[in-house]
Amino acid sequence: MKETLAGLPLSPLEVLLVAAAVALVLARWLPAGARRPVTIAAAALFLASGAASGVIGARWQLLPVFAGAAAALPFALAPLLPRRGGRAPRRARWWLALPGSALCLALIAAGPVASWALPVPVFPEPSGQFPVGTAALELTDPARPEPATAAPDDRRTVVVQLWYPAGDSPAGTPRARYLGATEREARIVSDGLAAYSGAPGFVLDGLGRARTHAVPGAPVAGRGGRFPVVLFSPGLGGVRTQNTAWAEELVSHGYVVAAVDHPYDSAAVLLSDGRVVRTRVGSSGDDAEDERRAAGWTAVRAADLSFVRAELGRIARGEAAGVLAGRLDTDRVAAAGHSLGGGAALQAARQDPGFAAVIDLDGFPHDPAPAPYHQPVLALTQEIGPATDPDYLPKLTRVLDLGTATGYRLTVPGAAHLTFTDAPLFLPPVPSLVGSLGRAESVRTTAAPCLAFLDSVLRGGGGDLPTALSAYGELSVHRPGGAR
């Protein structure tokens, strides 16, 4: 059974619960002959669906539905109960019942509204020819100490989520959870994201229920040869799965996406030894100090990306075990990231010529020593407005002008900073928060220009790349030597 009905943010069971609650309230206003059967049926359906919801775990968004129905229930049942002496059943007077009914209906309506504003995310079906498989691996760099701790033997460890082109899986094969391999990991990560944003943990509890289109541990596709790789770094305090819809779309077109959790920076990371590493990042309130911190975090992330690229090379050569042994084309690796991760991707490419391309999803460069780099770059930016950091575009432009290969900056109308993540799928559709493109359209508008860019620079695809990119926004082309 699907988590939600088409077009509704409610599961079939939740729809029954809401319908029964509404019927309980409205039964008071039905003709006399219909009141008893409707009330009895609605009460039975509400109690049964409510009990079933309690067993499988009711979402907090439905609490107003329970409250509204609970308030209406005694008033709906009282007229059905016999009274002494055969007197007529007692009913509330209409002038009392009317505001009471309106209040109960308002409470009940608040449930679907809250479910619409903060739904269980439904991931768009990938449009490419390949099904999607996924796996996670934990990697430790013996050459680097962990910069966030003082323990002398603590080595830098990262967790990587792989999405890859897969073969067909049998019908009914369970799909991967959104935020982790297990229910516990998904809950830890959703709680970490809520805590990082300053919200109560229950606000994002729908994320732990979500399923993606990827199949855990699925066999790699038997066709397609060696697949180009996109190595992804999330935003500050973000998590490796924050761009799952984007990753699945790229993978369905024949790419491998490897997304990195950066411990002590990502909101919450569950390590294989059971430790939960929570973020230590935060603002000091001083602009100069915050920039110094951001430059430090960016440098650590850039080193993480280079380390993971090297480890994927070992897997590609068969020197390390992995589901993708022999199937990765590590001569064609793009560094990518969102926000701080986008800045880290740019810095990693400058420092590591092993990267063949860069995708920066609305990321501010924090490289303290910008210098020429040699990879083509695609930078997607939010719609620029009065609230945009005035230093953002000038600094990004200066960095893009340093490239010895052509770079592209695409400003997407209607996009906000979180448009380029999965956030539009599960946060309220507030334009200043997630943009105004819509839930599924945000994913498409992020993935489509990235695919056009990757096909051109990693696969040598034909066609006019500037024209293809221009279909999604306002394009600036940065040619070698700063020419435009």
Report pLDDT digits (tens) over 193-217.
999 998 888 899 889 889 999 999 9
Number of domains in the chain: 2
- Same domain for 366 and 448? yes
User: By residue range, what is the domain housing residue 42?
Assistant: 12-117
397 closest CA partner among 297, 482, 283, 460: 482
Please give the order of strands across the beta sheet that includes 132-145: 215-216, 132-145, 155-165, 256-261, 227-233, 328-338, 357-361, 377-381, 407-411, 474-478
Asked if residues 416 and 432 have their Cβ atoms less than 8 Å apart, the reply is yes
Same domain, 340 and 413: yes
The pLDDT value given to residue 359: 98
CA gyration radius, the chain: 26
Higher pLDDT, 387 or 277: 277
- Contacts (Cβ under 8 Å, ≥6 apart) of 152: 145
Q: Is residue 280 in a domain?
A: yes
* Residues across the chain: 484
Would the pLDDT of 2 be above 50?
no
Percentage of the chain lying above the pLDDT 90 cut: 77
Measure the CA–CA gap between 29 and 456, rounded to whole angstroms: 65
C-alpha to C-alpha distance for 132 and 248, rounded to whole angstroms = 7
pLDDT of residue 370: 86
Answer whether residue 127 is part of any domain.
no
Domain boundary residue, one of 117, 142, 175: 117
| In a shared domain, residues 100 and 157 | no
Q: How high is the pLDDT of residue 3? A: 44
Query: Of 82 and 17, which is predicted with more confidence?
Result: 17
Distance CA 315, CA 323 (A): 9
pLDDT at 83: 60
Hey, what are 428's tokens?
């309220």
Q: What pLDDT band is residue 61 in, cutting at 50, 70 and 90?
A: very high
What does the mean pLDDT of the chain come to? 92
What are 397's two structure tokens? 């432009």
How far apart (Å, rounded) are the C-alpha atoms in residues 380 and 400?
Answer: 12
Q: Identify whether residues 256 and 397 lie together within a single domain.
A: yes
Q: Is the pLDDT of residue 76 over 90?
A: no
Confidence class of residue 8 from pLDDT cuts 50, 70 and 90? Answer: low
Any domain includes 82: yes
Q: Is residue 1 situated within a structural domain?
A: no
The pLDDT tens digits for 365-392 are 999 888 899 999 999 999 998 888 899 9
Give me 413's structure tokens: 């109308």
**Which residue's entry shows tokens 């009317």?**
98
| pLDDT computed for residue 1 by the predictor | 30
Give the Cα separation of 263 and 276 in Å (integer). Answer: 9
pLDDT at 455: 97
Average pLDDT over residues 457-468: 91
Three state DSSP letters for 126-183: CCCCCCEEEEEEEEEEEEEECCCCCCCCCEEEEEEEEEEEECCCCCCCCCCECCCCCH
> φ and ψ at 272, to 5 degrees?
-65, -20
Same domain, 150 and 78: no
Q: Are residues 262 and 190 in the same domain?
A: yes
Q: CATH number of the domain at 432, please.
A: 3.40.50.1820
Q: How far, in Å, CA of 374 to CA of 395, rounded? A: 18
Residues 110, 157: one domain?
A: no
Q: Give me the percent of the chain exceeding a pLDDT of 70.
A: 95
Mean pLDDT of 255-270: 97
For residues 99 and 244, state if they share a domain: no
Tens of pLDDT, residues 287-318? 889 999 999 999 999 999 999 999 999 999 98
